Structure 1
Amino acid sequence: MKYDPIKRSLGKVFNRTPFLRIIFYKLLDLLLLRSWHIRKALRKVGPLNSNQSILDAGSGFGQYVYWMSRFFKNSTILGVDVKSEQIEDCNRFFQQIREEERVQFQYADLTKFEDKDRFSLILSVDVMEHIEEDQQVFHHFYHSLKDGGTILISTPSDQGGSDAHEHDHEEDAHGFIDEHVRDGYGIQDITEKLTKAGFHSIDASFSYGKAGKISWKLSMKYPILMLGFSQLLFVFLPIYYLVVFPLCLVFNFIDLIKTHKSGSGLIVVAKK
């Protein structure tokens, strides 16, 4: 299943005005369990001192940049991505809301991008599972952080993070999300790679336990499958979400407050 055609379809609806886009961001923050875990981890990082720089490595359509621009009010934020159309779109949106002096986006290949000792915080959400040369990227992250800086990574785990373990047929071996170059990381695996890059105080924990997996299927997997079958079914999504949205909120809350022995997601925080 490829996400990009679905993302573009949704973008056409919600990018018509800045107001609609902000509403879309807020709905995603409520609906997507990943966002719950990331916001919890970012709050633990706490407000940064004035004039600190943040990197969103793989910024996509800017959801987390927008949230961080509100939470880290005195910081500057750079979002980088390999998709030029998303860079242009995000720059346009943040210009429309008059944040272009503090928030900017640019094209960057993370296997090559490094800005030595610039950032106090690096956020990387659902990016590393797409990159074969992950050790190289971790080294770039390390050198781009200031001393004492923090990196926060959200990525699928090897406990079924790409949904690959739900398939029995060889042709489905890449799972539900076929853009991934790996099914996910084990805690020991990603800890060793970050340590090799120079990081310390590494805290890796599972997310998307039993409740989280149910929420993900209801909130993302089934709607994406539906739209993948026919985009005409888009008109039924509001009715669908009216039914499942309250359930997803409950499952998200349960997943957020529990400590998981296993899960299909990983939240990793480390220090330089």
Structure 2
Amino acid sequence: MQYDPIKKSLGNVFNVSPWSRILFYKLLDLLLLRSWHIRKEIRAWSKKVASDIKVLDAGSGFGQYVYYLSSKNKGWDITGLDVKKEQIADCNTFFARINRRDRVRFAYADLTKMDQEEMYDLVVSVDVMEHIEDDEGVFRNIYRAMNPGGMMLISTPSDQGGSDAHHHEAEHQDGVTGFIDEHVRDGYNLQEITQKLKKAGFKDVDARYSYGRPGSISWKLSMKYPISMLNVSKVFFILLPFYYLLTFPISIVLNIWDVSGHHKKGTGLIVKAFK
């Protein structure tokens, strides 16, 4: 299943003006459960820090979380790093158009080769680590780039089906592929990612499950089913507003439930690692 092309197509639809792009960011914040969890953690963390901190979005993509961070506090100096040069140029142009380039910048960087020291107080990494083979190298690089007392906030799939992906052998045998075919690993368990972060130097790691039962249902309604339809035919773009008119209220309730609860298991992980 091709996920990135659909995201890119939707982004192009909403990228006709700054205000439509902001609308797209707002819609993503409502629909994507991981955004609910990330924003909750940032709100809690922001109450404990100064207003003149430096923030890194490690794998900034379309700029959704940089927009939220730059809206959260005008004193934060924010850098977005990514490997896709067209997205970097696009984000720099957009943030210039909304007059935030004085405190927001995007640049190319391979996180496995990142070489910075004690620059950032907060590092956000949302659905990035599952795409990187040398995750331990990235954790070491980010630890080195953080200021003492800083926090790294990670959202990533768990090994309980978070990638909704089948192993390659199964794909070869029965011809079935997962919903997302761009991941280098199926996901982490709590012990694995905690051990890797502590090995990189982080002194305190708090990892918990997200996408419990209510979140998994919400994800299927808000993301998996509509994107599966769009992979079949772009004609379904026309039906999307009507689909979400029916499912959106249900997804909102499920998202609130997931963010508010404690899950013994789940298909996602939210991890806080402190230097």
Is TM (by shorter chain) over 0.5? Answer: yes
Secondary structure in 2 matching 1:250:
helix
Q: Go from structure 1 to structure 2 and tell me whether the alpha carbon gap of 1:267 and 1:174 turns closer, same or farther (over 3 Å shift).
A: farther
- Asked if 2 retains the 8 angstrom alpha-carbon contact of 1:79 and 1:104, the reply is yes
1:34 is matched with: 34
Deviations 1:205-228 (A, max 9, x none): 000001100000000001111111
Percent identity, please. 60
Report which stretch shifted further, 157-166 or 98-107: 157-166
Q: Which amino acid aligns with 2:5?
A: P
Q: Which amino acid aligns with 2:9?
A: S
Q: Which amino acid aligns with 1:57?
A: A
* Cα displacement (A) at 1:169: 4.6
Whether 1:263 aligns to 2:263 is no
Whether 1:112 aligns to 2:113 is yes
Secondary structure in 2 matching 1:139:
helix
* Cα displacement (A) at 1:27: 1.0
Q: Which amino acid aligns with 1:75?
A: W
Q: Go from structure 1 to structure 2 and tell me whether the alpha carbon gap of 1:174 and 1:41 turns closer, same or farther (over 3 Å shift).
A: farther
1:250 is matched with: 253
* Cα displacement (A) at 1:7: 1.7
- Asked if 2 retains the 8 angstrom alpha-carbon contact of 1:83 and 1:107, the reply is yes
- Asked if 1 retains the 8 angstrom alpha-carbon contact of 2:198 and 2:204, the reply is no
- Asked if 2 retains the 8 angstrom alpha-carbon contact of 1:120 and 1:145, the reply is yes
Q: Go from structure 1 to structure 2 and tell me whether the alpha carbon gap of 1:167 and 1:114 turns closer, same or farther (over 3 Å shift).
A: closer
- Asked if 1 retains the 8 angstrom alpha-carbon contact of 2:159 and 2:189, the reply is yes
Whether 1:90 aligns to 2:91 is yes
* Cα displacement (A) at 1:174: 5.9
Counterparts of 1:165 and 1:38, CA distance in 2: 27
* Cα displacement (A) at 1:164: 2.8
Aligned alpha-carbon RMSD (Å): 1.6
Secondary structure in 1 matching 2:105:
strand
* Cα displacement (A) at 1:42: 0.8
Whether 1:224 aligns to 2:220 is no
* Cα displacement (A) at 1:166: 11
- Asked if 1 retains the 8 angstrom alpha-carbon contact of 2:151 and 2:272, the reply is yes
Normalising by structure 2, we get a TM-score of 0.95
Q: Which amino acid aligns with 1:8?
A: K
Alignment partner for residue 237 of structure 2, among 229, 234, 239? 234
* Cα displacement (A) at 1:175: 2.2
Gaps of 5+ in 1: none
Counterparts of 2:125 and 2:255, CA distance in 1: 21
Q: Go from structure 1 to structure 2 and tell me whether the alpha carbon gap of 1:33 and 1:168 turns closer, same or farther (over 3 Å shift).
A: farther
Secondary structure in 1 matching 2:112:
coil
* Cα displacement (A) at 1:11: 1.6
Q: 4+ residue runs of structure 1 moved beyond 4 angstroms?
A: 165-169
Q: Go from structure 1 to structure 2 and tell me whether the alpha carbon gap of 1:166 and 1:30 turns closer, same or farther (over 3 Å shift).
A: farther
Q: Within 5 A, what are the aligned runs for 1:11-90? A: 11-47=11-47, 48-90=49-91
Secondary structure in 1 matching 2:44:
helix
Alignment partner for residue 182 of structure 2, among 174, 179, 183? 179
